[in-house]
Amino acid sequence: MSNTKSPSAEVTAFHGTRHAHGRCVGRALGRADALCRQRGARLTRMRRRVLELIWDSHKAVKAYDLLDRLSESEKSVRPPTVYRALDFLMAHGLVHRVDSLNAFVGCSGSDEQHNAQFLICQECGEVSELNGAVIGQAVAQQAARAGFKVRRQMIELHGECPTCAAI
């Protein structure tokens, strides 16, 4: 029996060198615009800018780093402004909070509320979201068997991305 996996059997979670990041950010902002229009929610200039800064890389971004970056181009941005924008973006499923890093990443999942799992590279800091509904369901079922009612589910796996693991 061979240990070699076929390419179709592998999950592509991390972005390689051929990743068109501009298109990735454009899709995320377009999705946010459409979702907010559909829901009658206002994606204000500040909320959009915070989302854009979060999607600037595939690494988790701390709120105060967002504040610093916003302060470069906006005058007198205060922490409550950033936190209100983050609350709005999380409420609409556009970003996730990565608890272990106390930071935020763009949601690459569906427009539905979902339980995401995160692969977090401890070397380069890249974070990749998996949309494993089966994993979320299995965890919820185990919790229910224990009599536990899940209010929010966050699964974070720390390790090395394929690029860092190859070094």
Domain with residue 152: its CATH number is 1.10.10.10
13 domain-assigned:
no
3 domain-assigned:
no
pLDDT of 4 over the 50 cut: no
CA 118 to each of CA 10, 75, 128, 146, 163: distance values in angstroms, whole numbers, following the listed order:
16, 34, 6, 24, 17
127 domain-assigned:
yes
In total, how many domains does the chain have? 1
161 domain-assigned:
yes
Dihedral of CA atoms 99, 87, 130, 122 in degrees, nearest 10, equals -40
pLDDT at 2: 38
104 domain-assigned:
yes
Specify the DSSP class assigned to residue 59: B
Q: What percent of the chain clears pLDDT 70, i.e. is strictly above it?
A: 84
Average pLDDT for 71-84? 88
**pTM above threshold 0.85:** no
pLDDT of 7 over the 60 cut: no
Range name among 4-8, 39-43, 62-66, 114-118 with the lowest pLDDT average: 4-8
- Domain membership of residue 90 as a residue range: 19-165
Question: Where residue 113 falls among pLDDT bands split at 50, 70, 90?
Answer: low
Residue entry with tokens 């950033």: 82
pLDDT at 21: 59
**By C-alpha distance, which of 142, 91, 141, 99 is closest to 118?**
99
47 domain-assigned:
yes
